[in-house]
Amino acid sequence: MKYTTLPNTDIKISKICLGTMTFGEQNTEADGHAQMDYALEQGVNFFDTAEMYSVPGRKETYGSTEKIIGTWFKKLGNREKIFLASKIAGPSPGMPYIRENMDFSPESIALSIDKSLTRLQTDYIDLYQLHWPERKANCFGQRGFKVQNDAWEDNIHEVLETLDGFIKQGKINHIGLSNETPWGIMRFLEESKYHNLPKIKTVQNPYSLLSRLFEVGSSEVCVRENVGLLAYSPLGFGRLTGKFLKGESLPNSRIELFPQFARYNSAQSIEATRLYNEIAEKNGLSLTELSLAFVTQQAFVTSTIIGATTLEQLKENIASIDVVLSDEIIAEINAVQAIIPDPAP
């Protein structure tokens, strides 16, 4: 395994992070425990979860992923070996079962942290993230900012003060954002800089060969402000494994199980995947290796979040850490990006 440090700290974390959102939906508790066992054996010491997981979010499985991680901690007594990240869900009309007020008020943050700690069977969360903004700024699968009346009033100072209180209590250690825009990242940095409040260490956004929008604006912010990207969906819901290229039906795949997550199903995504696969084959790589190596070696990426439904997939994903793409391969990738830019925003 390769390691880096969490920005602005001396904490060593693995460049591969185990994503766990399938635990409790596509993966059983036993599956989840086996994945965490294997990941830790391979040197992965960074796990990511969220209060709303598993995915897709629904009342019947809400919190199941954190519970599975919690039973693993209790069984093995190895909490101190893992750098653990979780998230508080932002406003969503479809998730009233999480809590009555889906906001980032002090009361909501307190409730969410305590519930996560209980499910995780731990006293602290290493990295606590805001899963998506309160304001209407991000819409999955769409490009650009749409002006709309969301009645949001800037409460970022209050949110940071609240999180600071939980840091001082020892319930969380560091904070981060997720599904954020360059403006949002900078607002949080501005408040922490001028008011002596905790600085965000990371932002968790989608980033892959099919979605490189993070490079526009956000990557410069991260490099200049020393904030690390935790890249999620680096394989585009499995699209970039190449398993769909033969046109076969794969009923247990995420793309077919959850058609509502359709951003990786466009004709452009399928064609771009075909072209990236040609590059991989030409250079003696699997498409998975090419896709994950591309993400991991970007200067602004702190860790690449990988998820799998089988141990075989997990093994290939983790093994990609040893693949390094040459300048020539990167040039070939960029040539495809120029023809079909960001087909899955």
Residues designated as active site: 53
Question: Could you identify the residue written with the tokens 């019947």?
Answer: 60
CA 32 to chain centre: 17
C-alpha span between 337 and 273 (Å, rounded): 11
At 115, the amino acid letter reads K
CA angle (121, 122, 125) in 5-degree steps: 130
Q: Which two tokens stand for residue 108?
A: 């909501």
How far the first Cα of the chain sits from its last, in Å, is 30
Virtual torsion, Cα 244, 262, 227, 339, nearest 10 deg = 70
Contact (CB, 8 A) for 65 and 55:
no
C-alpha span between 52 and 258 (Å, rounded): 16
Counting runs of H as helices and runs of E as strands, what totals does the chain give? Answer: 11, 10
Residue 301's DSSP bridge partners are 229
Secondary structure of residue 13 in the 3-state scheme: strand
Residues 6+ apart with CB under 8 A from 50: 21, 65, 66, 86, 87, 89, 129, 131
